[in-house]
Amino acid sequence: MPLAVNLRHLEAHNIRMEGKLPARELDIDTLDTVIQLAQPLEYDLEVQKLEDGLLVHGRLLLNLDCQCVRCLKPFQYRLEIDGWACHLPLQGEDCVVPVNDCVDLTPYVREDILLEFPRHPLCDPECRGLPVASVGKPRNSSNIGKTGTDKSAWVELNKLKL
């Protein structure tokens, strides 16, 4: 549990947590070939003890190795959550259960990071997709086909007039 808070240490003062969490510790299965997790998660958090729980707030940063869904170019997506906040109740129904006085923050971080994943990663919002040369040919031939049908439609109209 590298991203864990020791509740005993919290009794005296707030805890500042700063560091990197290896991607495998996050244990995110993207189930998606266009997004890969290779870089560690960088975190800079402060944990505060409240009467009935813990308040965690700070910054999360994760660089994702993505592939553009339009042009297939690999690029890095910077997933940054500035001002991340999470309240962990220590009492009640959905309370967190400390193990040896420690609370693992990883599941909460994982959950919110997943929500920020790009749905359709693009190398650039203006990405025009694959170069025209590779998709141009089929488009041209379909245009010719359309012109052909237009002509035959006129032919049919002329027949009707006669």
Least Å distance between CB 88 and Zn ion?
39
Question: Which region among 17-25, 102-110, 121-129, 137-145 touches Zn ion (by CB under 5 A)?
Answer: 121-129
127 binds Zn ion (CB under 5 A): yes
Contacts of 119 (CB under 8 A, 6+ apart): none
69 binds Zn ion (CB under 5 A): no
- Residue closer to Zn ion by CB (options 35, 60) is 35
71 binds Zn ion (CB under 5 A): yes
Question: First and final CA of the chain: distance in angstroms?
Answer: 87
Selected binder of Zn ion within 70, 98, 106, 116 (CB under 5 A): 70
68 binds Zn ion (CB under 5 A): yes
Q: How far apart are CA 98 and CA 89, in angstroms?
A: 11
- Residue closer to Zn ion by CB (options 68, 109) is 68
Q: How far apart are CA 53 and CA 96, in angstroms?
A: 9
Least Å distance between CB 127 and Zn ion?
3
- Residue closer to Zn ion by CB (options 108, 117) is 117
- For 89-149, the DSSP string reads ESSSTT----BTTEEE-HHHHHHHHHHTS-SS--SSTT---S-HHHHHHHHHHHHHHHHHH
Contacts of 14 (CB under 8 A, 6+ apart): 46, 47, 48, 49
61 binds Zn ion (CB under 5 A): no
Residues that bind Zn ion (CB under 5 A): 68, 70-71, 123, 127
